[in-house]
Structure 1
Amino acid sequence: MRAIGYFRADANTQKNGAAKSSIDFRDDFAEYCDLNLHQQIKTFGDLNASGNGRYPQYDQMIEFIKESRSNFLVVIPDSTHIGSDLESVARTLIFLENNGAKVICDDEDFPAPLQNAFHVLGVTGISKTRSAKIKESMQARALKGQGLGRPPYGYRNGDAGILETVKNETAVVELIFKLYTQEDMGLRLIVQHLNERDIPTRRGGKWNVVSVRDMLKNPVYMGTYTRFGLRLPRAHEAIIPPATFREAQDTTRSRRPVGRVSRAEPFLLSGLVYCGYCDNKMMGVTRRQSWRNKDGRRHRGVYRYYQCQSRNNQSICGYHTWRAPLLEGTIVPQLTLALQAKQHNLSDSSNGNQKPELEAVWEERVKNAERRFIQMMRKTARGAAKLDELAEHLTELDNARVNAKKATIPGADEDVLANWQDVDFDQQRDFLLTHVARIVVRDEMARVEV
């Protein structure tokens, strides 16, 4: 394959205890091409960044690739030569591949750039050496079937590290599997059954659909230990017979809808609406119904509304709902007044140290976007996701940062609100995420907090 070599001398790559020279990098690239039967086309190398932070030789390489209109293999010593952190490595990698270049590292153990980045850069705030030692220790414990971290509900970590049953929790596990396999109850009915009888979770909270679902598909309850790709049967005392566990899996598969394609449209206020009774989030729900009139003609209807998540997932709180068109139409006039009031209060405020609630909300949103990006980068690094998906998460992160900045600028995007009916869904959504901290609703009331 036609190969291009690229390096940055300020990446401080070592050879025999000393920083590599430009000659070292060029010789290594030539050797790599000879060993792997690649055709050397050109080598680009930067000693350091220019005053504006750009790398001149890197820019020349990009121009060369674009003008050649050909596919190249770009060989780098390691990922630090295209970025100083995980995010910059991902951005450069996506840019190069979008321009017809495949990137590979001259590293026998970690040739893939994203895997290499986690190896040489790690995650901010985490020691790579310490992380590797912890992983080795955890793998050694896993080989013995010893518990790692917080044990699943129904078990505790024994003195020897082997999972041991907890008597009062064991009865609840058995009850959940019985309700699911013998009483033919669905997940929400099981949650309702547990919560109505004041059976608490380990932390004393309410059960929800996710915790029950995860319990029903966890092989730990039939005595099987799974970690780091290991699967050790009869590693500890079982709570559920294997036959019952398999029956639960069969039941789950039988209840999955077959051949139905979901085409649910996104909800404009998703993630912003909170129940005024329990303070949990309201979730968007789409219901499709069909019926026949007396004349035999069939009719279909689609109903979209926001419903209290506590009711849906934990079977607590009341059946509080708002039709989506009604709530979304109610919010816009309120938002105009709320933003005007906020601007007036900011102008008259003498307390300059008080952080607005929306700013704190956006800080959290940016952190969440960064966390999702790192998770997707790990997934892409191990081949479980495509680079296009990683690019989407980078775009999401960029949007979060831009909107967080807009949220601190008075009067930003005023034209969007003034022309609300003429802007598209994405613009409306971005505006709401930028300016709304939360929307609190009760059965007869909706309040916007900015």
Structure 2
Amino acid sequence: MQAIGYFSASARRNGQKRSIGEQNRAFLDFCQRSGYEVAATFADPDEASSAGFDQLLEFLQRPGRTFTVVVIDALSALGPDLGAAALRLLELEHGGATVLLAHNGSEAFKALVDTWAERGEGTPISERVRSAMRRKAVRGEVLGRPPYGYRVGPRRRLELVPEEAVVVRYIFRLYLGENLGIRKIAGRLNDEGIPTRRGGRWSMVTVRDILRNRAYLGHYSRFGTTVTGSHPALVSPEDFRRVQDRLQARHTPARQRSVTPFLLSGLVHCARCGNKMIGVSRRQSWLTRSGESHSATYRYYQCESRTNQSSCGYNTRRAAELEARVREALASDDHPGPRVRMAGNVDSYHLELLSQVDRIESRIKRNRRQVEELVADAAHGHISLERLKALGADLAEEHRQLQAELAAARERIRAHESEAERRRHLEQQRERLLREWDSLPFNDLQAALRDVVDRIDVDGDDVRVYRRA
């Protein structure tokens, strides 16, 4: 059996800082004592660096390796706190390695959970807070935002908002009494000038969520607890059941689906209403006169306003045709140029990149909170250690992907730090697109397009591609 040593400048044992040399000697002693062969060692001599850990993860992905354990000096070698250590432990476990502690050979994950239980360090939501929230839910007290049609009353119970309650009943009546579909109901509400709670337009999603919400039966559900008769009902049980039956009947039976993303998602806009155009796939089957069965899949971009709100006109373009037009536009020197320029050599794309970094960092924080909640559940005996590892595997994979996205976004920001560098980067990306369009992996092709293209406006056959400049 083989063992890998990982050493870090952040490692501390019993409150004392451990040098890289001390960690290495402890690792070699462990291998000699336990009968392991040294496979490799990796180190991060700088607490701010993670290059050694990244190399370790790459090493674990090599084909043909035998059973491997990763040996660390202490949990602190994996991060400054238990939350950071938990994430890295999950990443190593996801890579197929068991992590052991050098001084006693115990499993690092069990030591982490035990330490968490003893000290509660890094726990995002304490058991006391969770219990208090559950007790409130049992009493029917509102937690979070109330559903449309209700507001939070003085006793933390839901009470009716008359003008919204009328709309909820109207939606159920349109669906049951007039047999309108969800999209047509959204269009009817928008045509009649009925706003949402925030003053916006209705969409298929908002209508569907209302039709499925059991709160309109007078039931309140949170934390797995349902309190019946906690507030005034807006729909009878019979009507609600009929709505669910019809929704289920209209739902396509579950089948294995392979979702193919659309290359220009987020870039294409309807020139008529200004809203985005979304990718739509339609599969059709038919019989010829001779009885032969045929089928085809059609992919196109369609105005989101028409799709979700039953407004705007029938503005669509076949996906392959539109992508070919964009490719031609990038090869041409005759283009509309930038759609938006801002003062101070900062364009809309640079602001978009900064916003993208903020969004990715928020997702990384949310990912870490989810990991911490899993560890806290294991520490308090709600789930087993094996269940923690199984549930955490996907979170570990998501964490690596988010880190890669963050690094790529920051690299693009660096490429745009000066006007000259920004222009050179855009031209290099344009040339790369024209040269490698057919060979680039989808994600790389899409990222390069978003670097170069600011916006695509479509009005029937009229297509305008705005390039960044």
Taking structure 1 as the reference length, the TM-score comes to 0.74
Pairwise CA distance, 1:72: 3.1
1:177-230 Cα shifts (integer Å, max 9, x gaps) = 333345443321221222222222112211111112222222222122222333
Q: Is the 8 A contact 2:270 2:276 kept in 1?
A: yes
Q: 2:78 aligned with 1:82, yes or no? A: yes
**Pairing partner for 1:104 from 99, 106, 109:** 109
Runs (5+) with no aligned partner, structure 1: 30-38, 123-127
Deviation track 1:399-448 (CA, whole Å, cap 9, x = no partner) reads 44444545643433344233255433524322102222222222242222
Match of 1:419 in 2: 435
Shift of 1:301: 3.2
After TM superposition, give the deviation of residue 321 of structure 1 in Å: 0.9
CA deviations 1:19-58 (Å, max 9, x no partner) are 45769x99xx9xxxxxxxxx8989xx99994498469899
**1:338-387, Cα deviation, whole Å (9 max, x unpaired):** 799969x9xxx9x9823122112222233333344444555566427624
For residue 291 of structure 1, report the CA deviation from its aligned partner: 3.0
Q: Supply the distance in 1 between the matched residues of 2:59 and 2:210 (Cα, whole angstroms).
A: 54
> RMSD of the alignment, in Å?
4.8
1:445 aligned residue? 462
Closer, same or farther: CA 205–338 of 1 in aligned 2, 3 Å: farther
Which range moves more in the overlay, 171-180 or 310-319? 171-180
The aligned amino acid for 1:267 is F
Contact 1:207 1:314 in 2 (8 A): yes
Residue of structure 1 in register with 2:201 after alignment: 206
Correspondence list, 1:174-213, <5 A: 174-213=169-208
Counterpart residue number, 2:355: 364
Q: Which runs of 5+ in 2 are unaligned?
A: 27-33, 100-107, 375-390, 417-421
1:309: which partner in 2? 304
Q: Decide whether aligned partners of structure 1 residues 241 and 77 sit closer, same or farther in structure 2, where only a CA change above 3 A counts.
A: farther
CA contact (8 A) 2:43 2:52 kept: no
Q: Which residue of 2 aligns with 1:125?
A: none
Q: Which residue of 1 aligns with 2:448?
A: 431
Per the alignment, residue 33 of structure 1 pairs with none
Q: Partner letter of residue 423 of structure 1?
A: S
Q: Which moved more, 1:250-259 or 1:194-203?
A: 250-259
Between the aligned partners of 1:301 and 1:58, the Cα distance in structure 2 is 45
- 2:354 corresponds to which letter in structure 1? E
- 1:53–1:205 distance in 2 versus 1, CA, 3 Å: closer
**Equivalent AA in structure 2 for residue 82 of structure 1:** L
Q: Hey, what's the Cα distance between the residues in 2 that align with 1:192 and 1:328?
A: 30
2:210 is the alignment partner of 1:215: yes
| Pairing partner for 2:231 from 228, 236, 242 | 236
Aligned length: 418
Report if aligned partners of 1:222, 1:240 keep a CA contact under 8 Å in 2: yes
Distance 1:384 1:242, change over 3 A: farther
Q: Do the aligned partners of residues 281 and 249 (structure 1) sit closer, same or farther apart at CA in structure 2, a change above 3 Å counting? A: same
C-alpha distance in 2 between matches for 1:81 and 1:323: 53
Question: What is the one-letter code of the residue matched to 1:429?
Answer: Q
What fraction of aligned residue pairs are identical, expressed as a percent? 33
SS of residue paired to 2:329 = helix
Alpha-carbon distance between aligned partners in 2 of 1:51 and 1:260, rounded to the nearest angstrom: 49
| 3-state SS of 1:211 partner | helix
Is the Cα–Cα contact under 8 Å of residues 5 and 42 in structure 2 kept in the other structure? no
CA contact (8 A) 2:159 2:231 kept: yes
Structure 1 residue 278: deviation in Å? 2.0
Code of the aligned partner of 2:183: R
Aligned 8 A contact 2:336 2:465 in 1: no
CA–CA separation in structure 1 for the residues paired with 2:189 and 2:270: 22
Q: Distance in 1 between matches of 2:187 and 2:280?
A: 19
Does the 8 Å contact 1:416/1:428 carry over to 2?
no
* Residues in 2 aligned to 1:61 and 1:193: alpha-carbon distance in whole angstroms: 55
Distance (whole Å) between structure 2 residues aligned to residue 235 and residue 250 of structure 1: 25
The 1:385–1:357 alpha-carbon spacing in structure 2 relative to 1, beyond 3 Å, is same
Q: Residues 21, 380 of structure 1: CA spacing in aligned structure 2 closer, same or farther, 3 A cutoff?
A: closer
Q: Deviation digits for residues 267-313 of structure 1, max 9, x if unmatched?
A: 21111111122221100112222334444444433322110011101
* Alpha-carbon distance in 1 for matches of 2:272, 2:329: 20
Closer, same or farther: CA 312–340 of 1 in aligned 2, 3 Å: closer
Per the TM alignment, residue 87 of structure 1 is displaced from its structure 2 partner at its CA by: 7.5
2:87 aligned with 1:70, yes or no? no
Q: When the two structures are superposed, what TM-score results if normalisation uses the length of structure 2?
A: 0.71
Whole-angstrom distance in 1 between the partners of 2:58 and 2:296: 54
